[in-house]
A = this chain, B = another copy of it.
Amino acid sequence: MLNFDLHIPTRIIFGRDTHKQIGTLLQPYAKKVLLHFGGSSIKKSGVYDAVTASLKESNLEFIELGGVVPNPRLSLIHEGIRLCRQEGVDLILAVGGGSVIDSAKAIAMGVCYDGDVWDIFEQQKTITAALPVATVLTIPAAGSESSNGTVVTNEEKQMKLPYGSIHLRPLISVMNPELFFTLPKNQVANGVADMMSHIFERYFTNTLQTDLTDGLCETTLKTIMKNALKVYSTSQNYDAWCQVGFGGTIAHNDLLGLGREQDWACHGMEHELSAIYDVAHGAGLAVLTPAWMQYVYKDNINMFVQFAVNVMGVDVCYRDPDAIVLEGIECLRKFFKQMGLPSTLSELGIDESKLEVMAKKATGIAYGSENPLGGLKKLYWQDVLEIYKLAK
């Protein structure tokens, strides 16, 4: 087990009706709020009305900035920064899913940064401050409600880059699983694939002696999968949503990856799909993850046997490890299929024409310096290309 530094100060208010308390919760921290959101779904669902009523009741001034799209865009973030400065906003309230929260985080750090916020992403600069961000989560998936990260798409440069800092952990996140009842099925499935991937990226490691976090990863994965099937078939299953929703939070708040070398190759490879083809992040991950497993498992077969047995429930008895692992991967493919997720790049509308370009961008070689992806196995651009091809 490796040394670690754990710090998750985000307060999580969880359960029925909790979004109606948002004004009271923010009152000690803010005078003027930027209410940040995506499209019209929060207006249709009544969340917008409940949240704004609560803000008004607590005498919090607020201005609005909607229009966040999946794979949140730099242009809107620039607008948000300008707006916050002009209006003297002191807290950003993101009402939405991971894209809205990530956009809010980028605005929050941009307001406190003297220069173009994109530089922080591109040059991985260290930030020392950001406006506080609060969230009302409407899509469980990205884990951004308590993570230290944000991922932003620069649409001009066709680049999607992540950034992380303790200053980006939300101050308060409110999660009422009832708000997930109205999600379209494909968003449910994409979200589940995303949260599972957040665990996979931490779980698959060469670090030894990690019993506790192994177990935490495995039980969270199993819980998410079991309950994801329930909410996929019955969207109003509150208790199942509780498990999936909070599972998505701990999947990505760092707890499950403590003291382990992590991987993150699948996220790196998927970001290229999203940046160029604008596919849903979770759908891209569902396609790439089994292909990645197939390509890398021989480098640490024990870890993949453990996965197949402890997570996917594959029987061990008298079989060779390769057979066990391959059955585990097949079970995962089957699970994604049950959730209506795609299995191939072609189902995502991605042909072979840009695979090499994406492989070279993912590994940085397109920008002049090669940064192989992955922790469990280092992946150079040729490896990434092979994985894309396995997934085609």
**Chain A contact patch, size range:** 35 or more
State which of B11, B14, B211, B240 has its C-beta within 8 Å of the C-beta of A226: B211
State which of B211, B219, B240 has its C-beta within 8 Å of the C-beta of A215: B219
State which of B7, B211, B212, B243 has its C-beta within 8 Å of the C-beta of A212: B243
CA distance A8 to B249 in the complex (A): 14
User: Is A6 part of the contact surface with B, judged by Cβ < 8 Å?
Assistant: yes
User: Is A181 part of the contact surface with B, judged by Cβ < 8 Å?
Assistant: no
Cross-chain contact A220 with B227 (CB below 8 angstroms): no
Residues facing B in A255-314 (CB within 8 A) are: 255, 258-259
User: Is A236 part of the contact surface with B, judged by Cβ < 8 Å?
Assistant: no
Residues on the B chain within 8 Å of A86, using CB: none
Q: Contacts A218-B219, A239-B1 given: A247-B212 contact, CB under 8 Å?
A: yes
User: Is A2 part of the contact surface with B, judged by Cβ < 8 Å?
Assistant: yes
CA distance A310 to B240 in the complex (A): 20
State which of B1, B5, B258 has its C-beta within 8 Å of the C-beta of A11: B5
Cross-chain contact A11 with B3 (CB below 8 angstroms): no
User: Is A12 part of the contact surface with B, judged by Cβ < 8 Å?
Assistant: yes
Cross-chain contact B209 with A215 (CB below 8 angstroms): no
A interface residue numbers (CB < 8 A to B): 1-9, 11-16, 18, 208-209, 211-212, 215-216, 218-220, 222-223, 226-227, 239-240, 242-243, 246-247, 250, 255, 258-259
- The list of the 6 closest CB pairs from A to B, nearest first, reads A3-B15, A215-B219, A209-B239, A9-B9, A7-B11, A1-B242
Beyond the given A209-B239, A219-B219, could you list 16 further A-B residue pairs with CB under 8 A, ordered by the A residue number? Answer: A1-B15, A1-B239, A1-B242, A2-B15, A4-B14, A5-B12, A6-B11, A209-B240, A211-B223, A212-B219, A212-B223, A212-B247, A215-B220, A216-B216, A218-B219, A246-B259
